[in-house]
Amino acid sequence: MHELSIAQSIVDIVRQHAPDGVPVRAVRVAVGRMSGVVPESLEFCFSAVVGDTMLEGARLEIDRIPVRADCAQCGNVFVVEEAAFACPACGGSDLKLISGTELQVIEIEVAEGAHEGL
């Protein structure tokens, strides 16, 4: 249950990028399925920490990123389902994870009149 501090870090990062005085309408984040973060819990914590900030009322849009692996044996790229870390094509277990651990702020949507490139 560290979603509260994660939500606070998201707000801190957004505040460094959003233009002064312009309300932030939405924040898009990527959350990998192996990031250790529960999306529902993050949504709840986010709504709790944005009060009285430029993010008040902002939507949190969460891209849930599947765990994908690249098989060293046959080159197959696949989605790891149900923690089965074996290649469905050749059975190989020498896998490189290529997604699923993300925890990233992707972009924000700000109200009309704001300018890019801060």
Partner 1 sequence: MSIITIQRKVLEKNDEIARRNREIFRRHRLRVLNVVSSPGAGKTSLLERTLEFLGGSLKVAVIEGDVQTDFDARRVARYGVPVVQIVTNGGCHLEAKLVQDALENLQLDNLDLLIIENVGNLVCPAGYDLGEDMKVVVASVTEGEDKPLKYPAMFRNAAVLLINKIDLLPHLDFDLAALRRHALQINPGLRVFETSCRTGAGIAEWCAWLKNPGAGTP
Site track for partner 1 across 2-31, x = CB under 8 A = x--xx--xx--xx--xx------x---x--
CB of 109 vs partner 1, minimal distance in Å: 5
CA nearest neighbour of 8 among 59, 63, 48:
48
Q: Give the neighbor-by-neighbor strand order of the sheet with 68-71.
A: 77-79, 68-71, 95-99
Site track for partner 1 across 28-67, x = CB under 8 A = -x----xxxx------------------------------
